[in-house]
């Protein structure tokens, strides 16, 4: 028994992480693959039975893991994102949520034939969208403009709201008469706001005070934060059912927006933990479905899903964005982006069990309806989000732009040539003089400390797929690459080699990005060349002027930097790559202009 239990748990993790890996390689939404794998492993083949595997521990464990996901989601919310879109966010989680609840309840009553109480419960469960699906889709699409921050805030904040309302509706259905139901819901909402808000802020304050005063060693920062999250979640739930989800969300938001300590290391660990949790949870919850529940889905259920996507979501966004300055593409994208995630799945599973035990008629219909909405919305939104965002002009399929850290002479020259060649660039530097020189060239630039916690939120990163750090400070370059590693991936962050590389000492690979241009291409070496008259220049490679001709003309001192293909894709030359530009490519490099004129040859 013990061996089979270990094997089953290992299989869940294996299937979940493998699905994430395949999704990354194929650019298919990971949640869709996770659900498919869970359905195959569970109802289709019977290889995985989560209820038999974990028994009574299953739903409490799921609830605790969902709490960790919402805490990590709260850590991603910065109030700076609300400067332009705060009104729309507030309306979406109030007016939009209320409209969604009412309209879904009506649809569940009229289309699915559920009794009014059960219809309202389904409406409450499906208020949520959720960070488990929104965040991966936004990371996949990377929209430009206000729609990204709005969807992120809505997805994270509306989850506890929907869960709390659903719990209160459940309580009214099971324990109250119709005349008492409104009072129970109103009192519960007020209690949840007070309890969840107060305990969430208190938990954040405890973490901040103890870390600030160095009462916690560095290696315990993350375990201590997780301990506080789970403890406050449990205490809050003990006082008011499901208020714990609001508590952990408030705690994450409070930590993300305080300026006393840095929580970047907690956030980074939380993102890794989130991937593992989401991978396992979606497989587990999808595997809990039975073939009978799946076969109960028919034309009515599909019509319900269609109304949810084509009518109810657009109405909620229309009401929430009325009178705002939100652009038309952003409104359309918001109207076409409301996938349901792990909170809806977890809450529906718990509620169906509770209602079944209470003998409530029709309770068995909740889980297949909710999972149809989850699978259908993830499939439809996930597969259409990228094409729609590109059609609306708010994202790129494979962003090839370059974030250039350092507006010195090297960074400016690189930015100017790449910009001339049609590559999107953004230059960032904290030095005002350097910043002004970039702006005078008419190039996009922002003046800030690239290592600050909120640097991501203060730049428009849409269309950017790479980072190159070109400052004269080796430590800043390496740290900038590490700071943006989780955004661009290890494949997309580069910095100049340090002075030691090629000499006596080299930084460990886990403490640096990829090395730009070659191991000898330090800032000092490149700027010396510029001081001697070398220039960053783009050269077309053709059948008549091959890469061999390029090397013969410019000599061994030329430093190849970038290759732009005819289709717009960009290759950044690094120490770990071998290049072979083909006809049709544009090779950007640092060259001696003496050899750029016909008839000149390289010095021996």
- Top mean-pLDDT range of 12-21, 308-317, 529-538: 308-317
- Top mean-pLDDT range of 158-167, 273-282, 464-473: 464-473
Q: Are 153 and 91 in contact (CB under 8 A)?
A: no
pLDDT of residue 597 exceeding 60: no
Question: Are 22 and 79 members of one domain?
Answer: yes
Distances (CA, A) of 303 to 111, 183, 295, 476: 8, 33, 16, 55
Question: Are 459 and 571 members of one domain?
Answer: yes
Query: Which DSSP letter does residue 574 get?
Result: B
Model confidence band, residue 104 (pLDDT cutoffs 50, 70, 90)? very high
Q: Which of residues 372, 392, 412 is at a domain's end?
A: 392
For the stretch 359-389, pLDDT in tens is 777 777 888 888 888 888 888 888 888 888 8
- Mean pLDDT over 303-312 rounds to 94
Structure tokens at 89: 């966010």
Q: Are 493 and 481 in contact (CB under 8 A)?
A: yes
Question: Are 61 and 7 members of one domain?
Answer: yes
131: enclosing H helix or E strand: helix 131-141
- Top mean-pLDDT range of 127-141, 180-194, 264-278, 427-441: 427-441
Token pair 């819901």 in the structure block, residue? 185
Contacts of 108 (CB under 8 A, 6+ apart): 114, 118, 119, 122, 123, 304, 369
Model confidence band, residue 398 (pLDDT cutoffs 50, 70, 90)? low
Question: Are 150 and 186 members of one domain?
Answer: yes
Round to whole Å and give the CA distance between 402 and 493.
Answer: 10
Judge whether 601 lies within some domain. Answer: no
Model confidence band, residue 166 (pLDDT cutoffs 50, 70, 90)? confident
Judge whether 279 lies within some domain. Answer: yes
CATH number at residue 340: 1.20.1530.20
Question: Are 366 and 447 members of one domain?
Answer: no
Question: Are 591 and 522 members of one domain?
Answer: yes
The predicted pLDDT at position 479 comes to 83
| Chain mean pLDDT for the chain | 81
Judge whether 603 lies within some domain. Answer: no
pLDDT of residue 600 exceeding 50: no
- Top mean-pLDDT range of 68-77, 265-274, 560-569: 560-569
Q: Which of residues 392, 425, 448 is at a domain's end?
A: 392
Structure tokens at 156: 């994270």
For the stretch 451-478, pLDDT in tens is 776 566 566 677 788 888 888 888 888 8
- Mean pLDDT over 408-434 rounds to 87
- Mean pLDDT over 276-292 rounds to 81
Q: Which of residues 392, 411, 436 is at a domain's end?
A: 392
- Alpha-carbon Rg for the chain in angstroms: 27
Question: Are 360 and 460 members of one domain?
Answer: no
Sign of CA dihedral 251, 252, 258, 260: positive
What percent of the chain has a predicted confidence (pLDDT) above 70?
Answer: 87
Question: Are 305 and 204 members of one domain?
Answer: yes
Round to whole Å and give the CA distance between 266 and 488.
Answer: 19
Round to whole Å and give the CA distance between 191 and 194.
Answer: 5
Question: Are 383 and 405 members of one domain?
Answer: no
Q: Tell which residue, 73, 67, 65, has the closest CA to residue 282.
A: 65
Judge whether 590 lies within some domain. Answer: yes
CATH number at residue 486: 3.40.50.720
Distances (CA, A) of 141 to 22, 75, 97, 182, 336: 17, 21, 24, 41, 13
Q: Tell which residue, 320, 311, 336, has the closest CA to residue 110.
A: 311
Question: Are 486 and 364 members of one domain?
Answer: no
Phi-psi sector, 584: left (phi>0), alpha (psi -120 to 50), beta: left
Question: Are 371 and 428 members of one domain?
Answer: no
Each residue of 38-49: b (16+ CB within 10 Å) or e?
bbbbbbeeeebe
Global confidence as pTM: 0.69
For the stretch 43-82, pLDDT in tens is 888 888 887 887 777 778 888 888 888 888 777 777 766 6
Judge whether 604 lies within some domain. Answer: no
Question: Are 331 and 415 members of one domain?
Answer: no
Model confidence band, residue 27 (pLDDT cutoffs 50, 70, 90)? low
Range of the domain at 60: 2-392
- Residue 234's Cβ-count burial label (10 Å; 0-12, 13-18, 19+) is middle
Say how many domains are in the chain. Answer: 2
């Amino acid at each position: 028994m013990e061996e089979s239990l270990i094997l089953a748990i290992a299989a869940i993790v294996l299937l979940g992480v493998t699905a994430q890996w395949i999704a990354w390689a194929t650019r298919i939404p990971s949640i869709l693959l996770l659900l498919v794998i869970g359905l195959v492993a569970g109802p289709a083949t019977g290889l995985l039975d989560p209820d038999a595997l974990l028994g009574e521990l299953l739903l409490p464990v799921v609830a605790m893991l969902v709490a960790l996901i919402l805490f990590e989601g709260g850590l991603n919310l910065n109030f700076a994102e609300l400067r332009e879109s705060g009104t729309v966010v507030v309306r979406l989680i109030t007016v939009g949520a209320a409209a969604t609840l009412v309209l879904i309840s009506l649809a569940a009553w009229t289309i699915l034939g559920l009794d009014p109480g059960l219809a309202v419960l389904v409406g409450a469960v499906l208020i949520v969208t959720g960070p488990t699906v929104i965040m991966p889709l936004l990371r996949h699409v990377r929209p430009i403009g206000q729609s990204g921050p709005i969807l992120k805030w809505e997805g994270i904040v509306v989850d506890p709201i929907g869960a709390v309302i659903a719990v209160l509706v459940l309580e009214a259905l099971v324990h109250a008469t119709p005349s008492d139901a409104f009072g129970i819901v109103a009192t519960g909402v007020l209690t949840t706001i007070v309890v969840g808000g107060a305990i969430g802020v208190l938990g954040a304050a405890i973490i901040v005070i103890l870390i600030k005063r160095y009462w916690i060693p560095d290696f315990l920062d993350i375990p201590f934060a997780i301990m506080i999250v789970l403890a406050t979640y449990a205490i809050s739930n003990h006082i008011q059912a499901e208020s714990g989800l609001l508590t952990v969300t408030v705690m994450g938001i409070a930590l993300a927006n305080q300026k006393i300590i840095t929580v970047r290391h907690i956030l980074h660990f939380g993102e890794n933990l989130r991937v593992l949790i989401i991978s396992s949870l979606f497989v587990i919850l999808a595997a809990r479905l039975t073939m009978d529940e799946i076969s109960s889905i028919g034309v009515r259920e599909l019509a319900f899903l269609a109304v949810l996507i084509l009518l109810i979501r657009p109405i909620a966004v229309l009401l929430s964005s009325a009178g705002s300055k939100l652009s038309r593409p952003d409104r359309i994208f918001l109207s076409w982006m409301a996938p349901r995630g792990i909170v809806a799945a977890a809450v529906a599973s718990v509620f169906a069990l509770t209602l079944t035990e209470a003998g409530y008629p029709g309770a068995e219909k909740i889980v297949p309806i909710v999972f149809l909405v989850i699978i259908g919305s993830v499939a439809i939104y996930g597969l259409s989000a990228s094409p729609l965002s590109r059609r609306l002009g708010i994202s790129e399929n494979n962003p090839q732009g370059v974030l250039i850290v350092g507006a010195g002479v090297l960074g400016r020259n690189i930015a100017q040539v790449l910009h001339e060649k049609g590559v999107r660039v953004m230059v960032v530097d904290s030095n005002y003089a350097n910043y002004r020189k970039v702006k005078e060239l008419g190039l996009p630039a922002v003046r800030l400390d690239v290592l600050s916690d909120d640097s991501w939120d203060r730049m428009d990163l849409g269309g950017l797929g790479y980072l190159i750090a070109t400052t004269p400070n080796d430590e800043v370059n390496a740290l900038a690459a590490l700071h943006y590693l989780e955004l661009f991936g290890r494949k997309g962050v580069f910095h100049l080699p340090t002075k030691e590389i090629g000499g006596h000492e080299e930084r460990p690979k886990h403490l640096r990005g990829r090395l730009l241009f070659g191991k000898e291409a330090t800032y000092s070496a490149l700027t010396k060349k510029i001081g001697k008259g070398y220039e960053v220049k783009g050269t077309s490679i053709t059948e008549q002027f091959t890469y061999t001709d390029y090397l013969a003309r410019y000599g061994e001192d030329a430093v190849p930097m970038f290759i732009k293909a005819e289709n717009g894709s960009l290759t950044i030359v690094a120490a770990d790559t071998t290049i072979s530009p083909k006809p049709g490519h544009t090779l950007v490099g640092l060259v001696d202009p003496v050899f750029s004129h016909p008839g000149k040859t390289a010095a021996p």
